[in-house]
Amino acid sequence: MSIATKQGDGGQTALVGGARVSKADLRVESYGCVDELNSVLGFARSICEDKEIAGWTETIQRTLFRVGGALATPVQKEGQSAAIVAEDIDMLTELVTKMETTEGILSDWSLPGAHTQSAAYEVARTVCRRAERAVVRLAESGEAVPPTVIAYLNRLSDVVWLFGRWIEFHAGVESRLRPETEGGPRWSRAW
């Protein structure tokens, strides 16, 4: 069986369950963004020299396949287990806590590009936020979206931002947007 089925040549694709929709459908856009995020994280992992972050990234990538599957499934059947559960979100929250409590890690705006590996995670963070916005649009359109998917993507962007800071910290790289002497208000770090 060839991967070139030609069934999508007219601009339609099949969701889980067989329903055919436009490739421009919000649901397709949502899981497409998650697929892109998974690929960008794969690139970041492939160049990441920190084995701990690479391992966490691989775990996240495997979870993102469940996120994509949940988004590609328009009708959740009663009794069906949730694709993303509280434990998935808790794992990310624990990573945030672990990294944020590291003495000396950047806790303010960063300027992407100070380090190649951290820059790859910055790209992943922006793709994660785009995926989150697409999923929120899908939910706001009235389509069924498990709320845990939105929470997972929200927490994930924080984690991915911190991965970049963790890499820079351990490499001795400074990525602070403003000099420490400048002062002023601190902002949300992961947008």
Q: Which domain holds residue 30?
A: 22-72+83-179
Cβ count near 75 (within 10 Å): 10
CATH number at residue 102: 1.20.1200.10
- Residue 189: pLDDT band by 50, 70, 90 thresholds? low
21-75 pLDDT tens trace: 666 688 889 999 999 999 999 999 999 999 999 999 999 999 999 999 889 887 6
Angle at 127 between CA 5 and CA 142, to 5 degrees: 75
Tell me whether residue 156 is exposed, middle or buried, using C-beta atoms within 10 angstroms of its C-beta: 0 to 12, 13 to 18, 19 or more: buried
Whether residue 2 lies inside any domain: the answer is no
Tokens, residue 138: 């899908």
Is residue 134 included in any domain, yes or no?
yes
DSSP secondary structure of 71-140: HT-SSPPTTPPPSS-HHHHHHHHHHHHHHHTSTT---S-B-TTSSHHHHHHHHHHHHHHHHHHHHHHHHH
* pLDDT band, residue 176 (cuts 50/70/90): confident
More confident residue, 42 or 176: 42
Classify residue 189: in a domain, yes or no.
no
Calculate ∠ Cα 84-68-77, nearest 5°.
65
| 48 domain residue, yes or no | yes
Whether residue 77 lies inside any domain: the answer is no
Please indicate, yes or no, if residue 28 is contained in any of the structural domains.
yes
Give the integer Cα–Cα distance in Å for 171 and 182.
24
How many folded domains does the chain comprise? 1
191 domain-assigned: no
Whether 186 is covered by a domain: the verdict is no
160 with 125: CB under 8 angstroms? yes
